[in-house]
Chain A
Amino acid sequence: MSSGPPDLGSREAPLAPEGDLLRVGEQEAATDEREASAPMGILLVDDHRENLIALRAVLEPLGERLISADSGEDALRVLLREDVAMILLDVRMAGMDGLQTARVIRSRPRTRHIPIIFLTAQPSELEEVVRAYATGAVDYVTKPFEPEILRAKVSVFMALRRERNERLRQSRARARAEGVARTVRTLQILSDAALAHLELDSLSDELVDRVSKLFEAGSVALFLRDEDTARLYLQASHGAEMPGAPEEQIRLGEGTLGRLASEGQPILLDGAEIAALQAEPSEDQDPTSTLTSVLAVPLLTAGQLLGLLLVGAGRDRQFERGDLDLLTLAGYRIAVAIDHVQRFAQGRQLVETLQRSLLPEHLPASYNLQLAARYLPSGVAPQIGGDWYDALALDEQRMALMIGDVVGHGIPAATRMSELRNVLRAFALEGHSPGRTLDLLDGVAQATLGTGMLATVLFVIVDVAAGKVTLARAGHPPPALRDADGEVTFLETDRTLPLGVGDRFSVAEAEYPIHPGQTLLLFTDGLIERRREPIDLGLERLGRALAEAPDDVEKLADHVLEQTILQQPSDDDVALLAVRLVPEPVGPLELRLPAVASSVPLVRHRLRSWLETNVPELDPGVRQDLELAWSEACTNVIRHAYGPGDAIFTARAAVEPEGVLLEVRDSGRWREPRGRHGGRGLSIIRQVVNELRIERSGTGTTVRMQVLFDRDGEPEAAAS
């Protein structure tokens, strides 16, 4: 039924890079483990082979890896390719001597910290040198050496070396762990589910803010691609101005940033490259925004460039390769989040426009009907539903009311809804009965609704003049009718199927009397259906709400929603359409109408509803006769009007103590009824009224008729 908000965390996010980063960490940790227990290299340097052999024999029991070199030059070559833990170095050698060799070793960063034990026959010539180095990692052994002492000394150095390596390993592991934790935390913070509910502007601001905190950045700028153009515009920024984008927009392929974006590769810009950026034409460069390094990460989804994220380090920070890797990973998440929100926003905007176009802006106005409608989107899924309502004045007296529900949500449902609504309007305007209209609509629905698309519809024609509603429904809940005294009933028809079910069927039609003061409520099932609740409970809740609701339809609609939806929130969207038959005013009825045939039923129906309000206990026989007399008098006026549509006549009814007084007045001349039609009409009037007077004057003719409430024995007297 609903797809819910987009999940920013899981979809489309490329997992491989994250996995790689974590795996690299694992490999480093494993290397450390191996190193901790593995033998370390000891480099033995002496230009006398026999000395080398002797040294090997002494040190062999330590179990370390012994590497021999027979000159200073050879030692330096070995050090280029081998990692060694310490060096035993003969001082007196041909060519490069020990002291020179040691100097070179100390001058190279990679070998600077390797402890050296000098082997010498003349300790005095070395003491000064050893003190000069003063690193503690240098010692000497005099030749001829005591094997035990040499072995012990080397052993101590190796133990120290191992301890140092262990500390290094631990700190690397800690740093790595922290790095992984930072990665995970960063990604979590940037793909926080809470961001999914933000609109693009809020999301961008929030992301930029979070990135600046996570990367301790002095400056963050998020550029997004203008749809289908070659421009990136500044969507959000934080901190100091980013160099190279002075106009807050970047043209793809132009300038350093433009080329970066086109190439789609993350890059770490150092000070020199930033300086180059700043050297590019820029009018309002902020001189304080000196950035030491900038991370530039293109935002991509499905290979499409979505934008560019620039993160600049402040003065007291220097970005490294690891920061770029992390921001690259973060960039995937950010791109996904923005992409989702953009798509969602587009879809939502389209859908909202569609929805607005589907629901009537104004309900038709009518002197005898008050209409109010409400539409509430689903409380769960923030998107359009398939509910709609519509109202259409067929003529002065008849109003077509339509409400329906296309199963589903979103644009497909809204589109179907739009089709059905327009077709339904067309059939309604053609004057088909509700049952026939839905038969025709079902034909259209089966031809056009996609497979699996269902729709329910309720179609009602309220005929105020005839005092009846005619309705037909296709799988839709029946409307509720509220009497003036608050009693609520549901106007049933025979059970029907939704539109588009498959088998053609003939829609049952039903007719009910309806009176002024009553209110008809059309609604969709969202108003009554709740998960895990029998439908009867929903109907009862609606019945109670409607019974207690105020008379005014607007207030009534609010009250009903308040007592149903707000008490028991619905998963579905809800539409309702309330129609109140306005009671005739208390007091005399005065009508001014054109002298045309269609005015005859109108005046009769107005009289009928006026009588219901003003003389509620009227005897049905008296009521019939009042209608007859009134219709006959009006018919006579209209028959003898001067020309079609020109003339106006007035009709007036008033309650008197003894009975009802009816007056019909034309603006011209009353013709003496003649011919068989007029004769019959006047004959009827004479028989049904207690008193008839026809008054002619210069301005027109007035027919005045009185019917008594108690007519016992009167007709004879009246029929003269």
Chain B
Amino acid sequence: MTLNQSRRSPSRPSGRSGLSHDLATVDIREHDGLTVVSLSGEIDLSNAHGIARNLFELPNRAPGMVVDMSEVSYMDSTGISLLYDLSLRLRQRSQLLVVVCPPVSVPRRALELTGLHSQIPVLDQLGTAIAELRDATQERPEPPI
């Protein structure tokens, strides 16, 4: 046993401020005029409602929202329902929604199993998602002056 070699480094850097829902945290910030919501932890019946309230009550005037689920370690049908409801809400406001999660992950599997990935754009990486969404919102026709 060599202690120095086996010292572990943190799996996740800290200092991230956010709203805590026991199992999950919600971090909301602005990026290039877009709203970026980072979820982490586990999403199920016990906390989906609280997370949804955070997102729905957000004073959101940005043309689009990215929900980053890269750090979500568990999500089931309640999380899927949350995303579905969110997409409906944003569509009413003419805002776009993009979901980010790695190709091999529980959220991705849930999205695929329920077929939601065919209704909401799901991308692998946050950077790509932000770039795509920015392009998409800028492509939209400006109202005539």
| Cα distance, A598 to B11, chains bound together (Å) | 26
| Cα distance, A544 to B2, chains bound together (Å) | 10
Name A492's contact: one of B9, B76, B110 (CB within 8 Å). B9
Residue B20 is within 8 A (CB to CB) of chain A in the complex:
yes
Q: Which residues of B contact A628 (CB under 8 A)?
A: 76, 106, 109-110, 113
Q: Which residues of A contact B81 (CB under 8 A)?
A: 676-677, 680
Residue A145 is within 8 A (CB to CB) of chain B in the complex:
no
Q: Which residues of A contact B10 (CB under 8 A)?
A: 492-494, 509-512
Residue B7 is within 8 A (CB to CB) of chain A in the complex:
yes
Q: Which residues of A contact B20 (CB under 8 A)?
A: 431, 433
Q: Which residues of B contact A487 (CB under 8 A)?
A: 1, 6
Q: How far is the CB of A246 from chain B (nearest CB, A)?
A: 71
Interface residues on B, range: 20 to 34
Name A684's contact: one of B6, B15, B41, B113 (CB within 8 Å). B113
Residue A466 is within 8 A (CB to CB) of chain B in the complex:
yes
Q: Is the CB of B3 within 8 A of A540?
A: yes
| Cα distance, A624 to B104, chains bound together (Å) | 11
Q: How far is the CB of A103 from chain B (nearest CB, A)?
A: 104
Q: Which residues of B contact A512 (CB under 8 A)?
A: 8, 10-11
Q: Which residues of B contact A489 (CB under 8 A)?
A: 3, 6-8
Given A676-B81, A683-B113, CB of A627 within 8 Å of CB of B74: yes
Q: In residues 206-245 of chain A, which contact B (Cβ within 8 Å)?
A: none
Given A488-B6, A489-B7, CB of A510 within 8 Å of CB of B14: yes
Q: Which residues of B contact A543 (CB under 8 A)?
A: 1, 3
Interface residues on A, range: 35 or more
Q: How far is the CB of A240 from chain B (nearest CB, A)?
A: 69
Q: Is the CB of A680 within 8 A of B77?
A: yes
Residue B136 is within 8 A (CB to CB) of chain A in the complex:
no
Q: In residues 2-51 of chain A, which contact B (Cβ within 8 Å)?
A: none
- B-binding residues in A (CB < 8 A): 395, 431, 433, 435, 465-466, 472, 481, 487-494, 506, 508-513, 539-540, 543-544, 547, 597-598, 600-601, 604, 624-625, 627-628, 631-632, 635, 638-639, 676-677, 680-681, 683-684, 687-688
A-B interface, 4 closest residue pairs, ranked by CB to CB distance from nearest:
A509-B14, A510-B10, A680-B77, A681-B77
| 15 A-B contacts (beta carbon < 8 Å) | A493-B14, A509-B10, A510-B10, A510-B12, A597-B46, A600-B46, A601-B22, A601-B46, A624-B109, A627-B74, A628-B109, A632-B76, A635-B44, A677-B77, A684-B110
- A-binding residues in B (CB < 8 A): 1, 3, 6-12, 14-15, 20, 22-23, 41-42, 44-46, 73-74, 76-78, 80-81, 84, 106, 109-110, 113-114
Known contacts A488-B1, A631-B74, then 17 further A-B pairs from the complex at CB < 8 Å, ordered by chain A residue: A395-B22, A466-B41, A472-B14, A487-B1, A488-B6, A490-B7, A508-B14, A509-B14, A543-B1, A543-B3, A600-B45, A601-B42, A627-B74, A628-B106, A635-B44, A680-B81, A683-B77
